[in-house]
Amino acid sequence: MSIVKLDLPANSAVVDRPKKVVLTLIVPVYNEQAAIGPFLDEMARISAQMAPAVQTDILFVNDGSRDGTEFTIRSYMQANPRIQLVNLSRNFGKEAALCAGLDHADGDAVIPIDVDLQDEPSIIPEMVAKWRNGAEVVNARRTDRSSDSWAKRTTATAFYRVFNYLSDYPMPSDVGDFRLLDRQVVDVLRTLGERTRLNKTLFNWVGFKAEEVTFERKVRSEGQSKMNFWRLWNMALDGIIGSTTKPLRMWTYIGTILGLMSLLYATYVFFSTLMFGVDVPGYASLILLTLTFGGLNLFAIGILGEYIGRILTEVRERPMYVIHSIHGTSE
């Protein structure tokens, strides 16, 4: 195989890449019939810029769509052999669909990307260039999220702050699934067995040499977002609980502090009764303490329940997704 060496800065490590490489775009879709055409038109333009050094394959993962998404994709496949399609048996969620894409992508590098064109395709050549220069992960960070609602921007900022405070392996803010992953990184990700996961936390956990490009997030081209507040909330919980045990550890400290405070209060009541007799009034303070400690106990039990529920999911060992059919791949 012929090898090309790129001109790099003096302080950069030289990494040899094949002269011609295969880039696989993983595109999870759910009821996105109207967005398929504009996405493929844009990707045809980007692919032409990188050809012939980069062959661009597009792997759609149809996550149980109930509209004409599958048939729209298959109609484009007739004219473009570089389009592949994996149909899941039902809607398993974006994280599972992305895992299905990673399992079936065979490119030298892989880029998960949304079909709505909010992830800026024009920066893909820059991502590939950084990969050719030695990066094994190229993160795409959003510098402007004004196209998102105020609520989504606020909750996203809060999530990154909370996650990075709690997690043993913080992740870069405003970086979603849109990033380039080297084949070696993909192979490692495929060995991870978590069934309840937030993939972008794992993309960071595996390590490897990472670089960054930036882009401004655009308004969605077609359709509507399927990620409502409840789904985002559950994804945030999966990401935090799957990445750290600090919430459990925090309650060890909180319980210790509350226990010491209770001991001090009991000592105060004991000596106060010996010195001043029984103080019948105190109903309000008793109820206040009961409700406070009861609420804290329920909150702590809730955190335990979240971890136990995920343990149950893992020990069942059910697959993250079920494939209904595959079109255009070698498998």
Judge if 275 and 204 occupy the same domain: no
Judge if 260 and 214 occupy the same domain: no
Report how far residue 52's alpha carbon sits from residue 82's, in angstroms, rounded to the nearest whole number. 14
Report how far residue 148's alpha carbon sits from residue 218's, in angstroms, rounded to the nearest whole number. 9
134: left (phi over 0), alpha (psi -120 to 50) or beta: left
Record the tokens describing residue 223, joined without a space.
């359709």
- Does some domain include residue 220? yes
Q: Are strands 109-112 and 175-182 parallel, antiparallel or unpaired?
A: antiparallel
Contact 147, 118 (CB under 8 A): yes
Judge if 202 and 250 occupy the same domain: no
The model's pLDDT over 121-144, given as tens digits with 9 standing for 90+, comes to 888 888 888 888 888 888 888 876
The model's pLDDT over 290-325, given as tens digits with 9 standing for 90+, comes to 767 777 777 777 777 777 777 777 777 778 888 888
- CA 260, distance to chain mean position in Å, is 40
User: Coil, strand or helix: which one is 320?
Assistant: coil
Q: What is the pLDDT of residue 250?
A: 73
Judge if 147 and 276 occupy the same domain: no
Judge if 323 and 308 occupy the same domain: no
- Does some domain include residue 239? no
Judge if 28 and 154 occupy the same domain: yes
Judge if 52 and 134 occupy the same domain: yes
- Does some domain include residue 236? no
Range of the domain at 288: 246-316
Residue pLDDT tens, the chain, 331 long: 333 333 433 444 445 566 678 899 999 998 888 888 888 988 888 888 887 888 889 999 998 888 888 888 988 888 888 899 999 988 888 888 888 899 888 888 999 988 888 888 888 888 888 888 888 888 888 876 665 666 666 766 766 676 666 666 777 777 778 889 998 889 888 888 777 777 877 888 788 888 888 887 766 555 555 555 556 666 666 666 666 667 766 766 777 777 677 667 767 766 776 676 665 566 556 766 776 777 777 777 777 777 777 777 777 777 888 888 888 864 4
Contact 215, 123 (CB under 8 A): yes
Task: Give the count of beta carbons closer than 10 Å to the beta carbon of residue 229.
Answer: 10
Identify residue 133 by its one-letter amino acid code: N
Record the tokens describing residue 138, joined without a space.
């190229």
Record the tokens describing residue 211, joined without a space.
């670089």
The model's pLDDT over 200-210, given as tens digits with 9 standing for 90+, comes to 778 887 888 88
Report how far residue 104's alpha carbon sits from residue 98's, in angstroms, rounded to the nearest whole number. 10
Full DSSP string of 284-300: HHHHHHHHHHHHHHHHH
Residues β-bridged to residue 261 = none
Length of the chain (residues): 331
N-terminal to C-terminal alpha carbon distance within the chain: 25
Helix 183-191, helix 94-104: angle, nearest 10 = 120
- Does some domain include residue 280? yes
Number of domains in the chain: 2
- Does some domain include residue 152? yes
DSSP conformation class of 13: P
Judge if 209 and 260 occupy the same domain: no
Judge if 170 and 111 occupy the same domain: yes
Judge if 207 and 274 occupy the same domain: no
Judge if 23 and 162 occupy the same domain: yes
User: Coil, strand or helix: which one is 188?
Assistant: helix
Q: What is the pLDDT of residue 242?
A: 62
- Does some domain include residue 238? no
Judge if 176 and 255 occupy the same domain: no
Q: Are strands 175-182 and 137-144 parallel, antiparallel or unpaired?
A: antiparallel
Residues β-bridged to residue 110 = 24, 181
- Does some domain include residue 233? no
- Does some domain include residue 157? yes
- Residue 57: CATH number of its domain: 3.90.550.10
